[in-house]
Amino acid sequence: MHKLPIVILISGRGSNMQAILEQAAQGELGVDIRAVISNRPDAEGLQTAAAAGITTAIVDHRDYADREQYDQALRVAIDSYQPALVVLAGFMRILTPAFVQHYQGRLINIHPSLLPAFRGLNTHQRALDAGVSEHGASVHYVTEELDGGPVVAQFRVPVLDDDTAASLGARVLKIEHHLYPTVIGWIATGRLRYRNGMAYLDDQPLLTPVSVSDSRSEHIQ
């Protein structure tokens, strides 16, 4: 079976990366993880990947004078593994337009909010401050606009009366570990494609994100 070659970028412990690795190892996800790359030498996820037999690499942002030089070096490192998809899994860097354009349609990210709500950081506290009844996570194609590319799928969780940013964040992170591999699986099987700035699922334009509430969703196989 053909497996989709991917490279995963992380900055920390890489819990979403670990979820992808586990599903791939169990044969539930048709991907060939060519490498895990981090901008931080001390990223805990590098040890997790290495222990799983995955190639790791470090491109330390502190070694470069500016974002443009860093992103150029990162692009060279990624392209040496010839991925069909680049997966951002807690990669805490704002990417330059040139980098994003190079990987247009091949670069995805998971964001801890129901986009377009709460782009950027501190999403869980901001959701609580706003008094919303639902929160969650979104997987989207990356464009030059921060957290602004086409949203493919979302997983919603209720906001509870006694939630703190920590408790809400923990619940969202748990569902991220289901949502992200699900979307990557759609790409690996050819169900999800990116054309002319839009996402298509089963050859139909995704005008609204797929709601992935649980394993019973009609879109999950």
Which sequence positions are flagged as catalytic?
111
CA 120 to chain centre: 14
d(CA 146, CA 118): 11
Place of tokens 């990223």: 43
Q: For residue 58, what are the β-bridge partners? A: 38
| Cα torsion angle, 109, 112, 117, 121, sign | negative
Strands (E), 100-191: 107-111, 134-141, 151-158
Residue of 56, 24, 13 lying closest to 173 (CA atoms): 13
In single-letter form, the type of residue at position 99 comes to F
Stated length of the chain? 221
Pairing assessment for the beta strands 151-158 and 192-195 based on DSSP bridges? unpaired
Place of tokens 């993880």: 33
Give the single-character DSSP code of 181.
H
